[in-house]
Amino acid sequence: MLENAAVSEENRSKQIKLSANVSSHALPYVHSIIKKYGKKTFVWYGPTPSIQVMDPEQLREILSKPSVFHKLHPNPAEMILGGLVSSEGAKWSTDRKIMNPAFLLEKLKNMLPAIHKSCDEMIKKWKLLVLETGAAEVDVWPSLEDLSGDVISRTAFGSNYEEGRRIFILQKEHVELTLQLVKFVVFPGWRYLPIKANKRMNIICNEMQVLLREIISKRQKSMQIGEAQDDDLLGLLLKSNSEEIIENGIGMDIEEVIKECKLFYFAGSETTSSLIVWTLIMLSTHPEWHTRAREEVVQAFGREKPDFDGLNHHKIVKNQPIQQLIIVT
């Protein structure tokens, strides 16, 4: 674990050259082990061996046989992940069935205006920086992190957007603390030590739990009297869960709904912002494609707000995150 931490810290301080093999920066310690010992390797994390599977056919077999290859039980530092990520068997099937309606294409189409609004607000902030001095150098990464959290807050919680933003800020800090603490997981009882990171982690978890419970309880009460909207992820999830309970007598309790709400942020925020910033880098190093993509968007929409059907008919801009990026830039 100490070697892993040292390699990761050393790698974090290095600048990435676009001509280099960037895959080594994703998991530097694992990459160094594979480079040293070959693709058929395993690493001991304390008392637990971790096999590095590199062959695509073996990966396909593992992912297609969940009854044979079970999910790992997460250590306490990784308990930020819950819901579908950790459930298995019949429980996974039920939860997946409940979650599916929230991610149907027709439902996602309705969320495009919220995504556009978040992008528009970010661009306006950048424009203000330019107006003040005539030119500005902007570190886009914090803005894109905020953008992804902003989008999730709007699409997941709708009218409870501000409370959703607070949850995003707390979850972001939670992840940072988890990365600090993960090197201690091999030591029994580490999470009970009265260190600053553990104390802050407990405060964050409790506040997130309270905020999410309040949002969910309010929405459930609104649904009971017919006032709630079900066009955001939480509303769709609660509606589907209620129907499953009525139909089959089983569903998610409020603690499980809270875990799924946390998962919205964790699975959607960092991944999306990372993808967009990498897309920006690729477009900046290939300006001819940036020009072609922009021309296609302008031809399709002009100065009008984008709609889902229009985005779907693009030939050059085929990937939705790239579509959003070109529109805002």
Q: 67, exposed or middle or buried, with CB in 10 Å at 0-12, 13-18, 19+?
A: exposed
Give the long-range contacts of residues 292-297, CB within 8 A, separation 24 or more: 292/316, 293/317, 293/322, 293/326, 294/326, 294/329, 297/323, 297/326, 297/327
Looking at the predicted structure, is the pLDDT value of residue 314 above 50?
Answer: yes
Q: What is the pLDDT of residues 223-266, one digit of tens each?
A: 888 776 667 888 888 888 888 888 888 888 888 888 888 887 77
Q: Give the mean model confidence (pLDDT) for residues 305-321.
A: 73
Q: What is the pLDDT of residues 263-295, one digit of tens each?
A: 877 777 778 888 888 888 888 888 898 888 888
Side chain identity at 163, as an amino acid letter? E
**Distance between CA atoms of residues 171 and 154, nearest Å:** 16
Q: What is the pLDDT of residues 169-187, one digit of tens each?
A: 888 888 788 777 776 766 6
**Angle CA(158)–CA(149)–CA(281) in degrees, nearest 5?**
135
pTM, full prediction = 0.76
